A and B are shown apart, each in its own frame.
Chain A
Amino acid sequence: MTIRTEPVTVNIGPQHPSTHGVFRLRVTFDGEVVVQVEPVFGYLHRGTEKLAEERNYVQVVTLTDRLDYVSSMTNNQAYCLAVEKLLEVEPPPRGKYLRTITAELQRIASHLVGVGFFLQELGTFGGTPLMYCFRSRERILDLFEMLCGARITVSYMRPGGVFADAPADFWPALATFLNAFPGELAELEQLILENEILMVRTRGVSPLPLDLAINCSVSGPVLRASGLAWDWRKVDPYDAYDKVEFQVPVGSNGDNYDRFWVRMQEVRQSLSIVRQCIAQIEPGPVRLPDLPLVLRAAPGKEAYGRIEAPRGELGFYLVSDGGVSPYRCKIRSPSLINLTVTEHLLVGWKLADMIVTLGSVDINMGEVDR
């Protein structure tokens, strides 16, 4: 006797703990297996691009904090680089180093959140790895608080540098963190690497072929996990990245394990970049002194500034009409574009894998919806 079955369509989200914010997936299941997926966005759409057209160039910095709120520093950085490209100015060296240090600390914090929730979504560790990750991330946020008074919505960077030099007690605090963190990372790795459950649940699950990843404009750790060493910090160095040495970790299969592994390796590289910056940084101004309070670019000028954000290529395309605000401010958000491959990654896999795969892509809805 055969059992009559029929596909069932389920809404996952928008209010669901594993979708990293208000994200909805309309999924059709055949039993436990996903047969069709449609991502639905817009629940966190605030019209950032329109809001940017109503604010002057410096005021827009505060809007960028609220895009990918897990890595505000790198959002600031991408926007400031775009404005600097538009105005054809460059920050002083100390400003560049401070931006590189904070951006790399932010990458560590962001990857810890990504990895922590990814492990949480495997559902097998009772929250311990997540708490390990958050313990270290907390220290980084404390460092940010010393720099600018805020932990998440930092607005630390400005076109032409950063808004204030680091206070004197920031450097010993940073040194304390850099001494303690490798041990904390080793504890986390001891807990999870080579863990049987982690291996079985993530090895070979939802692989992403490289040619598809490229055709779908996928960037960041997800692209590198598929086997291409493409990192904007290397290809088109900005701020102080041309002064530091680091490696670009790549995966081979583009499966969930590789995406997780690439992030874990990148944390170590970031740590090394921060150390090199501390060794190289010299006293001096942190922001261009002669920039006017209200910036203006020549009419018809445009610039596309991009960085390697923790989630991929974050780009700001600014067009000027000569006014005090951007005429057009397009935000190329890696989280949104990485979701182009959702269907390929999820169809054919089981419900439980779906949640883990979404965790391995590591999206942030503030950036997807803008």
Chain B
Amino acid sequence: MALKSLGGEEVARRLEAALPGVVERWESSVIWVNPGQIREACLFLRDDPHLDFQFLSSLCAVDWVEHFEVVYHLTSLRKQQSAVVKARVYGRQSPSLPSVYQVWRGADFQEREAWDLMGVRFEGHPNMKRIMLWEGFEGHPLRKDFLQPGANLPHG
């Protein structure tokens, strides 16, 4: 037994055939999906018998300053394969994209965490509120422009 990492091309071709225009671009092991259609894309990735990504391993957001990238690490338990899907969200004021809570309940806390710490909103999540910090906390600490007074500056 060994886990197979699905190539971006394979996932992109299947996804593009079912939902034309949904794939923005792909690389050797990653595909970028149009953020507006992320829920439909994820639903297909979950239910397509060849992809079968029933298990959402991890969901997180990365701040690239000019845009945010939401990263989905998917696993198929039956086919023993994995894939990485990303969606780019622009704008620092109110970046948002549809929630995948309805596709994988496992996204629940991780989407709340991405909102709390990175400030990316997930539309359609039934309980989109802060999870680690308290309501009323200002800002989103994992953003690159968040600097707490007195914080350590990077070493080296």
Q: For the complex, what is the distance from the CA of A215 to the CA of B58, rounded to whole Å?
A: 13
Q: B154 contacts which chain A residues (CB < 8 A)? A: 53-54, 323, 325
Chain B residues with CB under 8 A of A336: 109
Q: Across the two chains, which residue of chain A brings its CB closest to B71?
A: A317
- Please encode chain A, from 329 to 352, with 1 for each CB lying within 8 Å of some chain B CB and 0 for all others: 010100011011000000000000
- Cβ proximity bits B117-153 to A, threshold 8 Å, 1 near / 0 not: 1000000000000111110000001100000000111
Is A172's beta carbon under 8 Å from chain B? no
Docked-complex contact B2 and A235, CB < 8 angstroms: yes
Do A304 and B58 have beta carbons less than 8 Å apart?
yes
A135, CB-defined interface residue at 8 Å: no
Q: A16 within 8 Å of B by Cβ?
A: no
Q: What 0/1 readout, one digit per residue, does chain A (32-59) give for beta carbons within 8 Å of chain B?
A: 0000000001100101011001111001
Considering only residues 85-131 of chain A, those with a C-beta below 8 Å from chain B are: none
User: Roughly how many angstroms separate A340 CA and B127 CA in the complex, as a whole number?
Assistant: 13
Q: Tell me the minimal C-beta distance from B126 to chain A in angstroms.
A: 12
Measured in the bound complex, the distance between the Cα atoms of B109 and A369 in whole Å is 11
B114 to chain A, nearest CB (A): 9
Sort chain A's interface into a size bin: 35 or more
Known: A304-B73, A315-B73. A332 touches B109 (CB 8 A): no
A248 to chain B, nearest CB (A): 11
B106 sits at the interface (CB 8 A): yes
* Interface check A324, CB cutoff 8 A: yes
From the candidates B104, B132, B155, B156, name the one contacting A369 in the complex (CB within 8 A).
Answer: B132
* B80 adjacent to chain A (CB < 8 Å): yes
A313 at the interface (CB under 8 A from B): yes
- Flag whether B84 is at the interface (Cβ < 8 A): yes
CA distance A51 to B117 in the complex (A): 13
In this complex, the interface size class of chain B, counting residues with CB under 8 Å from chain A, is 35 or more
**Identity of the chain B residue whose Cβ is nearest the Cβ of A313 in the assembled complex:** B57
- Tell me which residues across on chain B come within 8 A of A327, comparing CB atoms: 62
A18 contacts partner chain B, Cβ-Cβ < 8 Å: no
Q: Is the CB of B131 within 8 A of A42?
A: yes
Tell me if A178 is interfacial: C-beta within 8 Å of chain B: no
Assess whether B9 is interfacial by the CB under 8 Å rule.
no
List residues of chain B with CB within 8 A of the CB of A62. none
A324 near B156: Cβ-Cβ < 8 Å? yes
Q: Are A214 and B54 in contact (CB under 8 A)?
A: yes
The answer to whether B156 and A317 have CB atoms under 8 Å apart is: no
A196 and B146 CA atoms in complex are apart in Å by: 56
Q: Are A306 and B105 in contact (CB under 8 A)?
A: no
Interface string of B68-101 (1 = CB under 8 A from A): 0001010001001000100000000000000000
- In the complex, whether B16 has a CB less than 8 A from a CB of chain A is no
Given the interface pairs A214-B55, A315-B57, the reply to whether A228 lies near B77 with Cβ below 8 Å is: yes
* A/B interface sample: 17 pairs, CB < 8 A: A41-B131, A42-B134, A49-B142, A50-B142, A53-B154, A56-B155, A59-B155, A215-B54, A215-B105, A216-B106, A217-B55, A230-B77, A237-B2, A313-B57, A315-B58, A324-B155, A336-B109
Residues of chain A whose beta carbon lies under 8 Å from any beta carbon of chain B: 41-42, 45, 47, 49-50, 53-56, 59, 212, 214-218, 228, 230, 234-237, 294, 304, 306, 313, 315, 317, 319, 323-325, 327-328, 330, 332, 336-337, 339-340, 369-370
Apart from the given pairs A228-B77, A236-B2, 20 other A-B contacts in the complex at a CB distance below 8 Å: A42-B130, A42-B132, A49-B142, A50-B117, A53-B154, A54-B155, A56-B155, A215-B104, A217-B105, A217-B106, A230-B77, A235-B1, A236-B3, A317-B58, A324-B156, A325-B154, A330-B58, A330-B60, A339-B109, A340-B108
